[in-house]
Amino acid sequence: MEVPEWEALAVEAAGRVVEFWGFKRNQGRVWAWLYLQGRAMNAQEIGARLMLSKAAVSILVRELEQWGVVVRSRRADGVWRFDAESDLWKMVLRVLRQRELEVIGTVIEDLRRARAAAERSGAGALAIKRIDLMIRFGVVCQKVLEAFLKTSRLDIRPLLGILSRF
């Protein structure tokens, strides 16, 4: 079956963006194709259209389900079907909440351990001061992101004060 040019371009564009964000390119392709179909599709249909093996489709849809961007349902015929989350904003917020906040929290903890190690090793005051600034920047980033996730409004003014100290 020949894929319309518009569909191939849209699916590949989504794959590139998702890959750029650190996910698998085929995750983006699967989600985009399902999204464009506007209805639930089975694994065989997904694999045939995107030229993916049954095993690859199985893995990809399971991962996409974990991120909440694909929903699985079973119809009367007993076949599992998969549908794309259609609220793009909801998807972005979910990924920011699940992934980015976790990364920021880990970075802050790593920096706190770095500060403690710097003190133990007798690092100079300038190094400790700069680690402190990095920690404060991380904490403010975390708070800005949390506020954004709650309100969908982005206020970076708290970051500007810290950035001017770097």
What is the rounded CA–CA span in Å between residue 6 and residue 26? 18
- Indicate if the alpha-carbon torsion angle 120, 125, 127, 129 is positive or negative: positive
Using CA atoms, how far residue 94 sits from 48, 85, 153, in Å, is 29, 11, 15
Q: What pLDDT, in 10s, does the model give residues 82-133? A: 999 999 988 888 888 888 999 999 999 999 999 999 999 999 999 999 999 9
pTM of the model: 0.77
